[in-house]
């Protein structure tokens, strides 16, 4: 039902409708010089938006609509990890789109905001950001909350990603270790990975009871399920159950961290408010640190490769490295680090010839 009234020198239309709960609501707009202008505007609303509730939805900001869309379509239907990705997109929307309303988002405005986001993010990140917003806006289009798709034919750009290496060399590893802050949870995790070669889930599974500071040893006998948060789990293989040596500095750093945070003997050392950081978060922290140190980009798992490669280059036997990494057999180590072994073999051949030449 639509009614019109004159307020001072301008006209106002009022549309009565039922909201989603069945309660009567009113949509009012004023400021029209002539009644005919008010009638035309009200008619346009009723034509473009079959249900006036959809017009009210278009009055929401993109951030408000996207947040509601997450609650409707993603909560309870995607994993916690995926849900965090949508929540992260929502945070970016709030910054980049501000209070811009759905009905005011044009194709050119949307492209401008995507270009702005691309100034500080890699193309792959921009593509994911766009994909998630587009999914929400296509639902809005289906419901006639909006009448056109502002994301159609959007051009995706982004910052170039530095090429990744599989591992750091000895000097690069030294630089990284010397600039890490062991009082910071993420950076201590990175430090431990670099000096032990432990897998990420193994590090998260560490408890104070596993760390023997006086003997500079650590027991690796369980992992932590950081994906589905089910708690402690078994190690990857039987061979992954192992005891490895620590350097004295690392043992003390761990002990200091445990004491500073008053961690109970059988609680995970690296949980934050009872929750372990997911691999994407720790990889982001590592990438940021490598960028600060002007070092090549590697993944968190690359720290394990770095540890093994450095030991091999320093003359530690393949068998010892294999046991330290928790490989099921030496063949796994040999195949993984074949390029290193071949390089060391060539160095050994040169040594053999030098010895023979002295005979």
To 5 degrees, how large is the angle CA 301–CA 307–CA 309? 105
Does the structural domain 170-343 have CATH classification 1.10.357.10? Answer: no
Give the distance, in angstroms, between the CA of residue 156 and the centroid of all CA atoms in the same chain: 20
- Count of other CB atoms within 10 angstroms of residue 356: 8
Tell me what pLDDT residue 265 has: 96
Do residues 48 and 147 lie in contact, with contact meaning Cβ atoms separated by under 8 Å? Answer: yes
Tell me what pLDDT residue 277 has: 83
Does the structural domain 62-142 have CATH classification 1.10.150.130? Answer: yes
Tell me what pLDDT residue 278 has: 83
Tell me what pLDDT residue 50 has: 45
Tell me what pLDDT residue 46 has: 56
Do residues 134 and 93 lie in contact, with contact meaning Cβ atoms separated by under 8 Å? Answer: no
Contacts of 183 (CB under 8 A, 6+ apart): 257, 260
Tokens representing 114 are: 């995507």
- Count of other CB atoms within 10 angstroms of residue 127: 17
To 5 degrees, how large is the angle CA 297–CA 277–CA 206? 100
pLDDT tens for the chain, residues 1 to 359: 678 888 888 888 787 765 545 566 677 788 888 888 888 877 766 555 545 455 556 678 999 999 989 998 998 888 877 888 999 999 999 999 999 998 899 999 999 999 999 998 989 999 999 999 999 999 988 887 888 899 999 999 998 876 668 899 999 999 999 999 999 999 999 999 999 999 999 999 999 999 999 999 999 999 999 888 889 999 989 999 999 999 999 999 999 999 999 999 999 999 877 788 888 889 999 999 999 999 999 999 999 999 999 999 999 999 999 999 999 999 999 999 988 888 888 888 887 888 788 87
**CA atoms of 123 and 115, how far apart (whole Å):** 11
- The closest alpha carbon to 286, from 197, 196, 201, 179, belongs to 179
- The closest alpha carbon to 137, from 250, 60, 251, belongs to 60
- Each residue of 232-253: b (16+ CB within 10 Å) or e? eeebeeeebebebebeeebbeb
Do residues 148 and 141 lie in contact, with contact meaning Cβ atoms separated by under 8 Å? Answer: yes
Tell me what pLDDT residue 17 has: 61
């Amino acid at each position: 039902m639509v009614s019109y009234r004159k307020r001072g020198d301008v006209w106002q239309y009022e549309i009565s409708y039922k909201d989603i709960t069945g309660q009567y609501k009113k949509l009012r707009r004023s400021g029209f010089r002539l009644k005919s202008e008010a009638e035309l505007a009200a008619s346009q609303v009723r034509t473009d938006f079959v249900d006036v509730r959809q017009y009210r939805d278009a009055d929401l900001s993109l951030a408000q609509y996207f947040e509601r869309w997450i609650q409707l379509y993603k909560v309870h239907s995607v994993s916690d990890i995926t849900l965090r990705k949508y929540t992260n997109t929502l945070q970016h929307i709030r910054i980049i789109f501000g209070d811009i309303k759905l009905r005011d988002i044009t194709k050119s405005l949307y492209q401008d905001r995507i270009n702005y986001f691309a100034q500080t993010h890699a193309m792959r990140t921009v593509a994911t950001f766009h994909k998630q917003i587009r999914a929400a806006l296509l639902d809005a289009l289906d419901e006639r909350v909006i009448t056109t798709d502002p994301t159609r034919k959007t051009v995706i750009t982004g910052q170039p990603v530095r090429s990744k290496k599989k591992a750091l060399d000895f000097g690069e590893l030294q630089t990284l270790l010397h600039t890490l802050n062991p009082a910071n949870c993420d950076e201590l995790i990175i430090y431990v990975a670099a000096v032990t070669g432990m897998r990420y889930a193994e590090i998260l599974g560490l408890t104070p009871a596993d760390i023997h500071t006086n003997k500079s040893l650590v027991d690796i006998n369980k992992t932590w399920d950081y994906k589905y948060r089910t708690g402690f789990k078994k190690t990857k293989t039987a061979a992954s159950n192992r005891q490895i040596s620590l350097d004295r500095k690392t043992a003390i750093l761990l002990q200091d961290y445990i004491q500073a945070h008053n961690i109970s003997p059988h609680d995970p050392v690296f949980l934050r408010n009872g929750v372990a950081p997911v691999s994407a978060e720790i990889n982001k922290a590592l990438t940021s640190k490598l960028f600060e140190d002007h070092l090549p980009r590697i993944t968190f798992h690359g720290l394990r490769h770095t540890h093994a490669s450095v030991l091999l280059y320093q003359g530690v036997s393949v068998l010892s490295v294999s046991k330290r990494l928790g490989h099921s057999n030496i063949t796994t180590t040999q195949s993984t680090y074949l390029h290193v072994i071949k390089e060391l073999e060539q160095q050994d051949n040169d040594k053999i010839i030098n010895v023979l030449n002295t005979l």
